Amino acid sequence: MHAEPVKVGVVSLGCAKNLVDSEVILGLLKEDGFEITADPAEAEVIVVNTCTFIQKASEEAIDTLLQMSEYKDKDKGRCRALIVAGCLSNRYGTQLLAEMPELDGVMGTADIRQVGEVIRAALAGERPVYLGDPSSFIYDHTMPRLLSSGGWTAYIKVAEGCSHRCAYCIIPSLRGAYRSRPSASILAEAERLLAARVKEIILIAQDTSRYGTDLYGESRFADLLAQLADLCGKDAWLRWLYAHPESISERIVEVMAEKPAICPYIDLPLQHASRRVLRLMGRRGDGESYGRLVDNFRRLLPGVALRTTFIVGFPGETEEDFQELCAFVKEQRFNHVGVFTYSPEEGTSAASRPDQIDQEVKEDRYRRLMQIQRDIVRRHHRQLIGKPLELLVEKPLGRDQGRGQGIWAARSRYQAPDVDGITYLKGEGLQPGQIVKATVTGARVYDLYAEAGTREPGKGEREGKGEAERKEKKLASEERGSLKQGVKS
């Protein structure tokens, strides 16, 4: 008589790069004979793949571990072993076991292949510690992977680690130096995903546009993009995230313009616009050079959607520096902007600087910059009303009670998953994974509304814009009230 397979649940925290690791863990567990469950109350083993990029991520990781430990209570669950994996393990190692008796094992990012061993040792009461050199591992196409993102969108990690030395960042110490996967491995993984009917492939790394410099002596990302776009053809989208202003080239953008499969979308974290602050951060460039870069993107790829991120409250940032950043954002009119308040991280040079900024000042600057961006996004979205969009249908949300139509969560080529809002799509006969043509009918601050099919702009468009303006005024009033209450999470 065969014993029932052990049920394992995996909780993935942090960014898409961590999600890929979690999906590889799931694939390895399934291949090793474990049963996968999404219900932590049913799991006999829970693996939490953690992030510790900033203080809030570390706090979320600890809180999640404590929440998952509650399933060891027989009245709440069946958990017999709780494993911490990922960057929190790399950062704190055996200290986690010493300070958290709830844990039964520690596994670093280099030890993913041994996840089955870790679980068996934990179930045997050994409290195993697997902490290999972070630079010694990068997954490839031969490793099993179980997609957890709905099946229509999949990420491919083209490289691991980072060789930049930004003053605020601990990624190089957690993940090791930058190292690219061979292009043949990436292409093989893409072919497998497309054969599984994935409709959107998203390429990621800490510095995606740097791809290949360690293997070939120069960036080969433009070549890789072109090859992957040809694989996607007309049936799937290709998107990439996390460019770096020092490594993105004109040739990359030219390939994007040449290949219809590639989404006209560039994610370029700039972090600041003040030359002085950027030098304190250990970064090159300034608002003027970044502005020329953005202008060039728009010239080479008309209609491109641009996303960036900024850090406010970095040690030594003056009000003058912040105003320079605000002016830069107003001038460049990015489609999407993420703003972080600076978080001092142990082990970074910025954390030891004496000129730290008060938290109240950081949050005030966050609110002011986000309000500038909200106004920009409203104008961007109002201009889209009545225009056609190609949308990837993701999941059903319900039905419109007034008209009886189905309502679906969808995204356009100009919206990346999780960070850019969604498009609420009305239509009948739709299925998750479809790519359909639609017409934009309205907008909120970060989300759009659309109806399947295309139509000539006219009265409906004028009414849509009027309704959008009324909604925007109401939302703006509500947001001003909520912003007074504190920073949104």
> What are the per-10-residue average pLDDT scores of the chain (489 residues)?
86 94 97 97 98 92 98 96 97 95 97 97 97 92 89 95 95 94 98 96 97 95 98 96 96 97 98 98 97 97 97 98 99 97 95 97 98 95 95 89 76 95 94 95 94 66 48 45 33
pLDDT at position 403, please?
57
pLDDT at position 476, please?
44
pLDDT at position 285, please?
96
- Domains and their CATH numbers in the chain: 7-130 (3.40.50.12160), 153-381 (3.80.30.20), 385-456 (2.40.50.140)
pLDDT at position 3, please?
77
pLDDT at position 479, please?
42
pLDDT at position 483, please?
34
Q: Are 486 and 362 in contact (CB under 8 A)?
A: no
pTM over 0.75: yes
